[in-house]
Amino acid sequence: MFITDPTDKAALSQAFANTYNTTADATPWELCQQYLTMLDYTAQNPDAGRNAVANAIGEEIPPGRVRPWLDDSMPDAMRGIQACEAHGWLDLTWDGPTLHNLGVLIAWVFSGGSITSHWVPQLAVEDKATEQRAYRLLRALDEQPEAVRADDAGRATEVRPTEDAAPLGRLVTVLGAPQGVKNRQTNLSLPPWLTNAAHSIQLAFARTYVMNRATPRDDRPQTPVQMAEQRSPGYRQELTTFFDAVADADVTRGDSETIRLTQAGANRLHQPPAIHGDSNE
């Protein structure tokens, strides 16, 4: 389920929760609501014992489900929601800094990163400047970054979060970031909410994408930057339309698997994205 309105906290939380698995006869989101019902009852009845609480709300929730929660257990999805709340990732506004930075992260996943099967976002970096920008991005999202394979000359260095990596990965996935191998996804599409976001967020998304995919072509002054996109024709068309809209001009050229930026497009889009909350910006 991809979110179309990231500012709808309830819908975002529900979509996030339902990325988890459960063996119960309830969805992960329903388990979170049941857990909150239990917390509400115990807050209003602080002297009630374990059996009394389980029996009192037993018509709504099986007592065998409630008792472990009373012993400080909780649904996995609830724990993930609490992690997102602690980092401020669920209180989003259309022009706010958190959505801005999440947009940069999502663009990085599209253009030079991945989300693993364990929901960990990994950002590929090709040089020290890009690596430091990845560090600053994750720190701006209240995460602790680390580099992996930095000393392996045969593989790209990747930067990833370390504290609540999986909740962050689940969140950006429901916000539209692709999980798994992108070139195998025939229905790959940009996040649906992106067209309604502030222009600054769209611009940061586009610049992140170009930053990771661009190949300078000094021998082609009319189209000095090109990007290879071995993805579906529909996705390439969507991407070029987005670049043109963000730059407010006809800035793309290309056919087949190559997208080229005109000089005007390169001037506007071929530069690093802003990161909100980054002291170096």
Tens digits of per-residue pLDDT, 73-115?
999 999 999 999 999 999 999 999 999 999 999 999 999 999 9
- The residue written with tokens 């580099």 in the block is 147
Within 10 angstroms of residue 100's Cβ, the number of other Cβ atoms is 26
> What pLDDT was estimated at residue 280?
64
- Indicate the pLDDT class of residue 178, thresholds 50, 70 and 90: very high
Cα separations (Å) of 72 from 18, 50, 67, 75, 163?
22, 12, 9, 10, 21
- Please check whether residues 246 and 109 belong to one and the same domain: yes
CATH number of the domain to which 259 belongs: 3.10.28.10
Whether the pLDDT of residue 10 is over 60: the answer is yes
Whether the pLDDT of residue 29 is over 80: the answer is yes
- Indicate the pLDDT class of residue 151, thresholds 50, 70 and 90: low
At what angle are helices 9-17 and 76-87 packed, to 10 degrees? Answer: 140
Type of residue at 130: T
Helix (H) or strand (E) segment spanning residue 13: helix 9-17
- Please check whether residues 151 and 177 belong to one and the same domain: yes
> What pLDDT was estimated at residue 153?
58
Whether the pLDDT of residue 157 is over 60: the answer is yes
- Residues of the chain with pLDDT > 90, as a percent, come to 67
- Indicate the pLDDT class of residue 41, thresholds 50, 70 and 90: confident
Whether the pLDDT of residue 46 is over 90: the answer is no
Whether the pLDDT of residue 21 is over 70: the answer is yes
Whether the pLDDT of residue 186 is over 80: the answer is no
- Indicate the pLDDT class of residue 50, thresholds 50, 70 and 90: confident
> What pLDDT was estimated at residue 1?
60
- Indicate the pLDDT class of residue 232, thresholds 50, 70 and 90: confident
* Residue finishing a domain among 41, 64, 87: 87
- Please check whether residues 220 and 195 belong to one and the same domain: yes
- Please check whether residues 65 and 123 belong to one and the same domain: no
> What pLDDT was estimated at residue 154?
61
- Please state, in angstroms and rounded to a whole number, the distance separating the CA atoms of residues 115 and 42: 38
Geometric angle at alpha carbon 72, from 174 and 62, rounded to 5°: 80
pTM for the structure as a whole: 0.93
- Please check whether residues 146 and 251 belong to one and the same domain: yes
> What pLDDT was estimated at residue 182?
72
- Please state, in angstroms and rounded to a whole number, the distance separating the CA atoms of residues 101 and 194: 13
Q: Is residue 76 part of a domain?
A: yes
Helix (H) or strand (E) segment spanning residue 105: helix 97-112
- The residue written with tokens 């599209």 in the block is 110
SS3 content of the chain, % helix, strand, coil (to 5): 50, 10, 40
- Please state, in angstroms and rounded to a whole number, the distance separating the CA atoms of residues 45 and 50: 11
Q: Which strands sit side by side in the sheet containing 113-115, from one edge to the other?
A: 113-115, 121-125, 157-161, 145-148
25 is in which domain, residue-wise? 9-87
Domain count, the chain: 2
> What pLDDT was estimated at residue 196?
93
- Please check whether residues 158 and 187 belong to one and the same domain: yes
Q: What burial letters (b/e) apply to 247-257, b meaning 16+ CB within 10 Å?
A: beeebbbbeee
Q: Is residue 4 part of a domain?
A: no
The average confidence (pLDDT) of the chain is: 91
- Residues of the chain with pLDDT > 70, as a percent, come to 94
Cα separations (Å) of 96 from 6, 101, 200, 202, 262?
11, 9, 10, 12, 30
- The tokens for 51 are 């059996």
- Please state, in angstroms and rounded to a whole number, the distance separating the CA atoms of residues 63 and 51: 8
Whether the pLDDT of residue 183 is over 80: the answer is no
- Please check whether residues 44 and 172 belong to one and the same domain: no
Q: Is residue 281 part of a domain?
A: no
* Residue finishing a domain among 30, 63, 87: 87
> What pLDDT was estimated at residue 152?
59
* Residue finishing a domain among 41, 57, 87: 87
What digits encode the pLDDT tens for the residues 115-136?
999 999 999 998 999 999 999 9
